[in-house]
Structure 1
Amino acid sequence: MGVINMASVTLYLVRHGQTYFNIYNKLQGWSNSPLTDKGLADAKSAGERLANVSFAAAYCSDTTRAQQTAATILTENNVSNVKQPISSPFFREQFYGSFEGENMNYVWDQVGRPHGLNGFKEIEEKYSIAKAKDFMKEADPFHDAESNDEYWHRIDRGFDLIRENDDLSDGDNVLVISHGNTLLSLMERYGGGKYDLSVRPENGSVTRLALDDQKITVLGYNEK
């Protein structure tokens, strides 16, 4: 497969609908919990808002919450021929290792404590979301949580998967179902300091990126 020689395609990144782990404030990276009734409504609302956007392709992680959200959005769409998303582990949320399924506040306190910090917000403010990934890998007793380098190596392969789609043309729109921490990480990396990283993107919100064979540019974030 060859990389597309393209000026740009527009990625519509939608955060999956609300899940039970979201309600219970549990870390949900590679682990999974079903969409709630509100989560299904989040996906339907996003689909209605994007109903007249013509998508040339759709991608999501291989988690149920992402697949359900993608299917709902594509069902609501009036103008696309795409009926099924391409699922790949490249689009998964950050892997939290042995902290998967634990209370978020408890875990981030454990991660921050060796550095004299309490919680994710203090880590992000003093260091960065990138550093929070490295701190979590250090704190994980099994050291299975993804480091920042491991995380981006995987996520970048997801963007390359889109670039390698020979059916895409310049100017096409692509649907991508994404995850909360991934969207924050993208804003830290590509947002140029314009976005408040202390506020998590809403379930069902839309973030738009311009993707070409060289770079990624943020067009809009957490739009509802």
Structure 2
Amino acid sequence: MTKKLYLMRHGQTQFNELHKIQGACDSPLTPKGIADAKKVGQYFKEHQLTFDHAYSSTQERASDTLELVTNQPYQRLKGLKEWNFGVFEGESEKLNPKSDPKIGSYGDFFVPYKGEAANEVQSRINRTLTNVMEQATDGQNVLAVSHGGAIHMFTLKWITERLPHITNCSVIEFEYDQGIFKYQKTIEVN
């Protein structure tokens, strides 16, 4: 029997709204971010979707989102944190490099600027989510709230068809069995 992972991006933040680069730095949820997170919580209730385990990035925007979605206890994990963009943090998104189409990411661009490499982010979030799913028992549902860049790197590893667009408060459903994540669908409620 398989386990299910519901991997959710946090709600819209002030930096999202202002088009600022937001990785290791944080900014609060906007009223829209709060409302959208509540809509996801309502979707889960309407579909009788409950979680045996819940996890969040240690960053406030993710834990605040999780607390709006469900009132169950959860664990904060550093492995679910957003990509660290180094000195680009808090700057305009216009400064982001173009994504390398061959690899589907920024690669090592941020490393000389005290940030993380794409493969470091991918390894970190994959290791974290694999550990989380290995702790769950067969048939259990797991909710994890993370960030756009980190989720993108995770999906690059596990989704071979067209990657889903990862909007604020989107939820990507995966089945997990014996070390393999299999994409099921993307849930959008905005």
Same fold (TM over 0.5): yes
SS in 2 for 1:58: strand
TM superposition shift of 1:216: 1.1
TM superposition shift of 1:173: 0.7
Q: Percent identity?
A: 31
For structure 2, the 5+ residue unaligned runs are none
Instruction: Give the direction of change, closer, same or farther, for the CA distance of 1:159–1:74 in structure 2 (3 Å limit).
Output: same
Alignment-derived partner of residue 147 in structure 1: 117
Alignment-derived partner of residue 90 in structure 2: 101
Cα distance in 1 between the residues matched to 2:128 and 2:31: 29
Alignment-derived partner of residue 182 in structure 1: 150
Which of 97, 111, 127 is the matching residue for 1:137?
A: 111
Alignment-derived partner of residue 66 in structure 1: 62
Aligned residue identity for 2:138: D
The superposition leaves residues 41-61 of structure 1 with CA deviations (integer Å, 9 ceiling, x where unpaired) of: 011011111122121000110
Instruction: Give the direction of change, closer, same or farther, for the CA distance of 1:148–1:106 in structure 2 (3 Å limit).
Output: closer
Aligned length: 187
Give 1:1-224 correspondences, 5 Å limit: 7-51=1-45, 52-75=48-71, 83-108=72-97, 120=98, 123-125=99-101, 127-130=102-105, 132-138=106-112, 140=113, 144-165=114-135, 168-195=136-163, 200-221=165-186, 223-224=188-189
TM superposition shift of 1:155: 1.2
RMSD across aligned positions (CA): 1.8
SS in 2 for 1:50: helix
Aligned residue identity for 2:154: L
Greater share of helix residues, 1 or 2? 1
Cα distance in 1 between the residues matched to 2:95 and 2:156: 24
SS in 2 for 1:157: helix
TM superposition shift of 1:92: 0.6
Cα distance in 1 between the residues matched to 2:116 and 2:6: 25
The superposition leaves residues 196-219 of structure 1 with CA deviations (integer Å, 9 ceiling, x where unpaired) of: 6xxx42211111111233211111
SS in 2 for 1:218: strand
Cα distance in 2 between the residues matched to 1:190 and 1:222: 17
TM superposition shift of 1:33: 0.2
TM superposition shift of 1:65: 0.6
For structure 1, the 5+ residue unaligned runs are 1-6, 76-82, 109-119
Q: Which has the larger radius of gyration?
A: 1
Q: State TM-score, norm by structure 2.
A: 0.90
Cα distance in 1 between the residues matched to 2:124 and 2:151: 15
Contact map agreement 2:122 2:154 (CA 8 A) in 1: no
